[in-house]
Amino acid sequence: MARISVYNLDNNVTALDKVIGTDFTGSVTKNFVLSEIANLFSTGLISVGGQVGYKFVDVLGQKSFSGPSDNQAISTLTTIKVSSIDGAGHNIQNFIQEYNLKRIILFKNKDKDIYGVFDVTSVVEDVDNAGYYDIALAFMSGNGNLELEEYYSLALFSGDKDRHYTHNQVAASSSWEITHNLGKHPSVSIVDSGGNWVVGDIAYTNENTLIINFTAAFSGKAYLN
């Protein structure tokens, strides 16, 4: 083989270009098409920026997620079951828990316009199938349908940096109990039904619920940030 330095540089790289490499089965030198290398990356073999790759299947299996039906609209997803072994073969049973009460994005690797942004309301291991986790989802926005045997990625959504919640108190009450699932003790601003600012006593039950007590019953809204 000639020295690499004597080959011309190609500044017009296409998906059909080839590179030389060694096939691990028999250590045979072969040509590899760039488009096929890209397809290998799309399986989740290599993670980028905290993304976790999975294949969408209809039967439980490692390196995959299941639950929805083929061609199901992403906007209708309420839960998915994911393997603790991701597409790269890593055990991420602890990392999966980081999705709990966070905002995530699920997208098709070969077409990023097929995606869904969700709030995760719970992450629970399946008691009947160790190593598999049910992720409960609340749809926020997205586009398209899921397709069996295609590869998708999960990632924390960058728009999650400043989450907020608006509570609408329809029935007049002197005590408002609010479940916001923000995973923090948010600041609270309150207005009555007439748009007037109101002050109440706020008690944080935990990082996802709080109670506001007032001296009189009224309806209105609470803005949490």
pLDDT in single tens digits along all 225 residues of the chain? 567 667 777 778 776 777 777 877 777 788 877 666 556 555 555 555 568 999 999 999 999 999 999 999 999 999 999 999 998 889 999 999 999 988 999 999 889 999 999 999 999 999 999 999 999 999 988 999 999 999 999 999 876 456 788 999 999 999 999 999 888 899 999 999 998 999 999 999 999 999 999 999 999 999 998
Q: Measuring CA to CA, how many Å separate 88 from each of 32, 82, 139, 204?
A: 21, 14, 27, 41
- Distance CA(136)–CA(78), nearest Å, equals 6
If DSSP codes are grouped into helix, strand and coil, which group holds residue 91?
A: strand
- What pLDDT sits at residue 191? 94
pLDDT of residue 76: 96
pLDDT of residue 203: 96
User: For residue 147, what pLDDT is reported?
Assistant: 97
Per-residue pLDDT, 22: 80
R_g of the chain computed on alpha carbons: 24
CB 53 within 8 A of CB 41: no
- The DSSP result for 105-134, as a single string, is EEEETTEEEEEEEEEEEEEEE-TTSTTEEE
Exposure class string for 95-118: b at 16+ Cβ within 10 A, else e: ebeebbbbbbbbbbbeeeebbbbb
Q: Distance of alpha carbon 101 from its chain centroid, rounded?
A: 11
Measured CA to CA, the distance from residue 66 to residue 60 in angstroms comes to: 7
Q: Is the entire prediction scored with pTM above 0.75?
A: no
* pLDDT value for 9: 78
Nearest residue to 177 via CA among 185, 166, 169, 186: 169
Query: Residue 150: what pLDDT?
Result: 94
What's residue 106's pLDDT? 95
User: Under 8 Å CB-to-CB from 160, ≥6 apart: which residues?
Assistant: 102, 103
